[in-house]
Each structure stands twice: as structure tokens, then as C-alpha cells.
Amino acid sequence: MTPRGPGVLVVWDVDGTLLDARGAGHRALDAAVRAVCGRTEADPLAGMDFAGRTDRALIEEALARAGRPDVPWTAVRDRYGHELAAALARTPAVALQGAAEALATLARDGRFIHVLGTGNLALGAWLKLRSAGLARWFATGGFGDAHRDRAPVLRDALRAARRHVPRPWTAAVAVGDTPRDREGARAAGLGAVLVATGRYGADALAAPGVPVLPSLGDPRRLADAIWEAAALRDEGGQSGPRI
């Protein structure tokens, strides 16, 4: 049965929140940069901070580190898709504990609408989600192709949902695993729920009005946390994004 009435838009991060790509994205980006730039003496990705950043920002930084800022980032993007598909064929992504059940439970609940809000390139997000068996829960979202920061990615997710989701919603809540998810949600006017399943612990993720969960392993607790974050947006005097 299709739920009726307004819901809460749940805007999902991918890596470290829903799945572990087990280094496939890093290996694919490294291979793509090397293929496009030719052999480089230094590893262009060594020491780069990947957590919570968009793939476009990562590609542009990698090109600068490789001494080739003149190369269009789209050349790496185009190669990256092939490299990522090959990397995932060798080593599939795995859904994090509780992710599949959490998505199913929230979809059944009727109050929640799933969309993506991820720094992955769109193609990369779908490849990883298909590899981990989670793609079926999503139809649209915001991606890291056009932006270097998360806030505009999340705004894209809201725009995509307005076009493609046939139900109204009263608030939007981002679910992520890094401080950048939290700050991006704040800047874009979304609520946030964080899960300490990636590289950041609860202490690094904590902030007023932002529930932090140890994992997605308790779907009812997750639903309550999202509902709480949505309500805070409603009552905060700036009732979330205009929708």
C-alpha cells in the first residue's frame, strides 16, 4: 500500500553510513588519476582526507597533487566509472550492519521517504549501492558531480525529490557518518542524524539537536531519532527547507 499524507524526507549518505566499499572507491580513483595523468612518482591520493567529501573535490585535489591541475576533472570522472565497476567486481561493497533492515523498516513505516544525498558521483553511488544490494530503496537524490561541498549536494537532493517523489514531506533529515554531513545539513537547512559507523566516534559527531546512534542496527531507534530531528527542524523557527 502506498502511504498517504506528508512524510519526512530521509536524505542518505552512502559510504560509511549504508555501506563499506572496502576501498574500491579509493583504488578506482587512484587508477583513474594514474591512467589520465600518466605515471606519477608520488601517490596523488596519499594523505588525502576522503571522509564526507565530494568525489569532484577529491578528483580536483588529486589532479593538483599529481601536478596536473590543467587536466579537466571530467576526464578522471569518465575513467573512474570503469575503474570502480572493475574494483567492485573483484571486491563487492558490503552493506553495513542493519542498513538493509533499516531501509526496509523505514519504508514500511509509511512516515519516511528515502532519497540519496552523497558526495559520490551519481554513477559511483549507484554502482556501490547495487554492489551492496541496497539500490532498490532509492530512485533519486543529490550527488557529488556538480559540487565540492555537501550543502549544495543536499539541496540538489531536495530538488530531485520535488521532481520525482509523488508525496509531500514536512521536513528533511540527512543521515550521515561524518562532521561534514552534520555541517552540510545545517548549511542546507536540514535536520541531521549521525551514525558512528564510519571513521568518527560519537564524541566527534555530537552536536546540539543532532542525535548520534552507534549503528543502524536498531531500526526503531533510528526512526525515533529521525522523527526527533525532523521535529526539531519544525520547531526551530526556521522550519527546514522551503518545500
Residues near Mg ion (CB under 5 A): 13, 15-16, 177
CB 206 within 8 Å of CB 189? no
CB-wise, 15 or 149, nearer to Mg ion?
Answer: 15
Q: Which residue lies nearer to Mg ion by CB, 15 or 83?
A: 15
Q: CB-wise, 156 or 177, nearer to Mg ion?
A: 177
Q: Do 65 and 42 meet the contact criterion of CB atoms below 8 Å apart?
A: yes
Q: What is the nearest approach in angstroms of Mg ion to the Cβ of residue 143? A: 13
Report CA-CA distances (Å) from 198 to 15, 184, 206, 214.
8, 17, 14, 10
Instruction: Tell me the closest approach of the beta carbon of residue 187 to Mg ion, in angstroms.
Output: 16
- Find cell 561534514 and name the residue: 180
Task: Name the closest residue to Mg ion (Cβ).
Answer: 16
The DSSP call for residue 45 is T
Residue (16 or 124) nearer to Mg ion, CB: 16
Rounded to a whole number of angstroms, the minimum distance from the CB of residue 16 to Mg ion is: 4
Closer residue to Mg ion in complex, CB, 8/196: 196
Please, which residues have CB within 8 angstroms of residue 28's CB and are 6 or more apart in sequence? 80, 83, 84, 86, 87, 124
> Whole-angstrom Cα distance, residue 195 to residue 175?
7
